[in-house]
Amino acid sequence: MSSSFHGKVALVTGGTSGIGRETAVAFAARGAKVVVAGRREDEGFKTVDLIRSGGGEAHFVKADVSQPDQVAALLAEVVGRYGGLDMAFNNAGIEGTPFIPLENYAEETWDQVIGINLKGLFLSMKHELPHLVKNRGAMVNMASVAGLTGGRLGAAYYASKHGVVGITRSAAIEYADKGVRINAVAPGVISTDMATRAFFQDPAVTARIKSLHPMGRLGMPGEVANAVLWLCSGDSSFTTGHVLSVDGGFVVP
């Protein structure tokens, strides 16, 4: 990868752990000023400390992406502090309840998952796009293999991630002639807190999950971060509306 992000501003939602934290650190290592957004202050400050200890520039904003006022305030703070927005990684998400049959799936959990993974993404995009248009920037949305296939990880999670793919594709077309590229990443199972909660409580489930990846292993957060950075960089200048699998061969068409 050749592009530098010096002078650019990046926003990472859910930058408080896992893939978001790793990507925030990677953006900063390439010279970007990074705004880390999330609900958990202590974890957000941890990401900022990691970046600053590496000589980078970062700022934490406490924001819940499912709350319209908080997303509006987040973008106002990004632009107020750094003067604009060049790259947005809409990563915040929750898993809901995996392995629950649809007929037993709680309505409340459905609302939470859709509210964060899909409405939260819509709200983030809505408030980011005017600024990305101004700077002819790039956006990457967090989908999943669950946005490309069916499975047993819970109805709401699949529905939300299929929605992420849909809004990414439609927005990419809407904004292509405005100079904003909009893509998504679709990771397989990546070793993070979420995967630990969802899959690593039972060794039999862990083994089954691993076996779904032809490479025979789980992914690492840095492998997703590399894909996000490429999609935000000038190295992918003719790529928009693409959903990039980062999944060890989980979904090979």
Catalytic center residues: 157
Indicate whether 223 belongs to the interface with ligand NAD (CB under 6 A): no
Indicate whether 18 belongs to the interface with ligand NAD (CB under 6 A): yes
Indicate whether 94 belongs to the interface with ligand NAD (CB under 6 A): yes
Closer CB to ligand NAD, 10 or 133, in the complex: 10
* Alpha helices, DSSP H, located in 115-190: 120-135, 155-175
Placement of tokens 């989980």 in the chain: 250
Closer CB to ligand NAD, 18 or 248, in the complex: 18
Nearest to 91 by CA among 29, 46, 26: 26
Is 241 within 8 Å of 165 (Cβ atoms)? no
Closer CB to ligand NAD, 31 or 68, in the complex: 68
Residues 56, 120, 137, 154: which binds ligand NAD (CB under 6 A)? 120
Indicate whether 92 belongs to the interface with ligand NAD (CB under 6 A): yes
> Per residue in 37-73, is it b (16+ CB within 10 Å) or e — as a string?
bbbeeebbebbbebbeeeebebbbbbbbbbbeebbeb
Alpha-carbon span 6 to 225, nearest angstrom: 17
User: Which of these ranges, 11-19, 25-33, 73-81, 170-178, lies near ligand NAD under the rule CB under 6 A?
Assistant: 11-19
Residues 190, 225, 229, 243: which binds ligand NAD (CB under 6 A)? 190
Alpha-carbon span 164 to 145, nearest angstrom: 11
Indicate whether 38 belongs to the interface with ligand NAD (CB under 6 A): yes
Indicate whether 154 belongs to the interface with ligand NAD (CB under 6 A): no
What's the CA angle centered on 77, arms 72 and 78, to 5 degrees? 100
**Distance of closest approach, residue 157 Cβ to ligand NAD, in angstroms:** 7
Q: Which residue type does 12 have?
A: V
Alpha-carbon span 20 to 18, nearest angstrom: 6
Indicate whether 14 belongs to the interface with ligand NAD (CB under 6 A): yes
DSSP state of 236: G
Alpha-carbon span 171 to 152, nearest angstrom: 28
Indicate whether 168 belongs to the interface with ligand NAD (CB under 6 A): no
User: Which of these ranges, 75-83, 170-178, 193-201, 228-236, lies near ligand NAD under the rule CB under 6 A?
Assistant: 193-201
Residues 139, 189, 228, 243: which binds ligand NAD (CB under 6 A)? 189
User: Which of these ranges, 73-81, 100-108, 184-192, 237-245, lies near ligand NAD under the rule CB under 6 A?
Assistant: 184-192
Residue 206 has φ and ψ, to the nearest 5°, of: -55, -45
- Which residues contribute to the site for ligand NAD (CB under 6 A)? 13-14, 16-20, 38-40, 64-66, 91-94, 116, 120, 142, 144, 187, 189-190, 192-195
